[in-house]
Structure 1
Amino acid sequence: MKRTILLIPAVFIILSAFSGCDTLNQVARTAGQTLGNPSAFEIASALKQALEQGTNKSTEKLSAKNGFFGNAVVKILFPPEAQKAEQTLRALGLNNLCDNVILSLNRAAEDAADEAKPIFINSIKQLTLQDATNILFGEPDAATQFFKRTTINQLTAKFKPIINTSLNKVGATRYYGDVVNTYNKIPLVTKMNPDISDYVTRKAIEGLFVEIAKEELNIRQTLSARSTPLMQKVFGYADSSKGRR
């Protein structure tokens, strides 16, 4: 009996500390967020984890050797305006020259891909609670579209000099210049511009977003791709919410 009496003051003291209505409401909200639906903060944190995971995997995959060249979906081929020239040169037996161009274009893109990481990380840091909610309940590529809106200009500015350097390093400038110059010597053909850097920069960025979209869809659709408890909670909540619609 004495033990029960002694506990009463302690309980009274604890409850007194939370006697304010606002404080009690805050405690209740916190408990509800922990045990039930995710809070806005949890949604934003989970989305940041998912975006970082997706962009890291994408850039690591594409920056590896044959990341572009060995991937049929993003592999960079001759520009559309140069494909007639490629066909003509291959018909003349210059297959090695054309193959060297394609390989070197993809090597340049692989060199640049890893440089996207800090740009994506900076974009993720700027993510607002509203952005996170819109992405979570948005289209299957909502995160990819967010990155396109927030990083495309920075990626272009960052990739262009790297692509230029890499094109020279791997011989793409020379190879493509050889193709164009050889083609331009053929009588009656429309002359081509030997500058290829803008095209490779654009295709490298396009390929990056293709991979990011794949990673985003994987996280949305595959439970095992949700690598943290918070991602599992938030995307599980999104799954159940969509099921109720």
Structure 2
Amino acid sequence: MPRQFSVTVMVICTTLLGSPAHAGLKDLLNQGQELIKQSTQPQSSSSTATDLDTDTLSAGLREALEIGTQRAVETLSAQDGYLGNPSVRIPMPGYIETASGLLRAAGLGNQVDTFELSMNRAAEAAVTEATPIFVEAVKAMTIDDARRIYNGGDNAATEYFKTKTYDRLGEKFKPRIEESMAQYGVTSAYQLLVDSAGSKLPMLGNMNLDLADHVTGKALDGLFLMLAEEEKKIREQPLARSTDLLKQVFGN
């Protein structure tokens, strides 16, 4: 890949991640398109696309995305990171969620709350497994990946991470979820709910639920939703320049 084009792609990514808050995504895309046009036109030997070399720009992009993923994980791993956020809160599975109003009306509100709390606490404890997997995906990012992230729309980086990490995250999450479920009493909370429901909703006792699969799937859904929100912040707001590299790359 020609060096000029490589530098241009990384300048595009820098523009996308480092523009002021008042520049909306549409403006950023227009700027990127103009840079692509410029990359196809002859330039004098004295003109340069940036004062920073390609390696520095690439490192800056990777560091920006690494910080974004870490923020998503830190937000969810905090107490009530899942439970306190209606967008990612892990609901009770299937029919139980549908029947939760009936269960509460039947005086089983405490049992419902305990079951729901235990599932979300298990997810909050397990989500830290995502950090090293995301870091590996960031380090493996290529110039072509960066170009696709730029051209792919509002959630392109999130889709990149989903493609590269979803299966591995599932493999890591499920055993940690099972461990956390035991710690927070998910299965026993469910059994208490079933036993308490008794004759009110007898079908609960006949449901064949894989609670670990349910919590794992919903935990991953919430993780990528939060990652998409972090990506939106990166695209629309100035990056918090917390390291020397980010100040060097995004400080202008």
Q: TM-score, normalised by structure 1?
A: 0.75
Task: Tell me if the contact between 1:43 and 1:132 (Cα under 8 Å) persists in the aligned partners.
Answer: no
Tell me if 1:68 matches 2:82: yes
Q: Which one of the candidate residues 64, 76, 79 is aligned to 1:50?
A: 64
Tell me if 1:196 matches 2:211: yes
Aligned counterpart, 2:224: 209
Aligned counterpart, 2:29: none
User: Mean Cα displacement is larger for which, 116-125 or 39-48?
Assistant: 39-48
Q: Which one of the candidate residues 70, 95, 107 is aligned to 2:109?
A: 95
Per-residue Cα deviation, 1:113-172 (whole angstroms, up to 9, x for no partner): 111100111111111110012112331100000011010000000000010111110111
Q: One-letter code of the match for 1:147? A: F
Q: One-letter code of the match for 1:232? A: F
Shift, 1:40, TM fit = 4.9
Tell me which of the two structures has the higher relative contact order, counting C-alpha pairs closer than 8 angstroms and 6 or more residues apart.
Answer: 2
Q: Which runs of 5+ in 2 are unaligned?
A: 1-44
Per-residue Cα deviation, 1:44-66 (whole angstroms, up to 9, x for no partner): 32321121011111111111111
Q: One-letter code of the match for 2:154? A: P
Per residue, is there more helix in 1 or in 2? 1
Q: One-letter code of the match for 1:135? A: I
Task: Tell me if the contact between 1:69 and 1:76 (Cα under 8 Å) persists in the aligned partners.
Answer: yes
Per-residue Cα deviation, 1:32-90 (whole angstroms, up to 9, x for no partner): 2443xx76545532321121011111111111111111112111111233223423322
Task: Tell me if the contact between 2:108 and 2:197 (Cα under 8 Å) persists in the aligned partners.
Answer: no
- Alpha-carbon distance in structure 2 between the residues aligned to 1:132 and 1:230: 19
Aligned counterpart, 1:143: 157
Task: Tell me if the contact between 1:164 and 1:197 (Cα under 8 Å) persists in the aligned partners.
Answer: yes
Task: Tell me if the contact between 1:119 and 1:155 (Cα under 8 Å) persists in the aligned partners.
Answer: yes
Distance 1:231-1:138 versus aligned 2 partners, 3 A rule: farther
Task: Tell me if the contact between 2:89 and 2:120 (Cα under 8 Å) persists in the aligned partners.
Answer: yes
After TM superposition, list the pairs within 5 Å mapping 1:83-232 onto structure 2. Answer: 83-183=97-197, 185-186=199-200, 189=203, 191-225=206-240, 228-229=246-247, 231-232=249-250
- Cα RMSD of the aligned pairs, angstroms, is 2.4
SS in 2 for 1:32: coil
- Alpha-carbon distance in structure 2 between the residues aligned to 1:146 and 1:48: 13
Task: Tell me if the contact between 1:180 and 1:192 (Cα under 8 Å) persists in the aligned partners.
Answer: no
- Alpha-carbon distance in structure 2 between the residues aligned to 1:217 and 1:53: 13
Q: Which runs of 5+ in 1 are unaligned?
A: 1-27, 237-245
- Alpha-carbon distance in structure 2 between the residues aligned to 1:229 and 1:187: 59
Q: One-letter code of the match for 1:142? A: A
- Alpha-carbon distance in structure 2 between the residues aligned to 1:129 and 1:230: 20
Q: TM-score, normalised by structure 2?
A: 0.73
Q: One-letter code of the match for 2:140? A: Q
Distance 1:81-1:44 versus aligned 2 partners, 3 A rule: farther
- Alpha-carbon distance in structure 1 between the residues aligned to 2:111 and 2:240: 42
SS in 2 for 1:135: helix
Aligned counterpart, 1:32: 48
Q: One-letter code of the match for 1:107? A: R
- Alpha-carbon distance in structure 1 between the residues aligned to 2:198 and 2:208: 9
Distance 1:171-1:230 versus aligned 2 partners, 3 A rule: same
Q: One-letter code of the match for 2:218? A: K
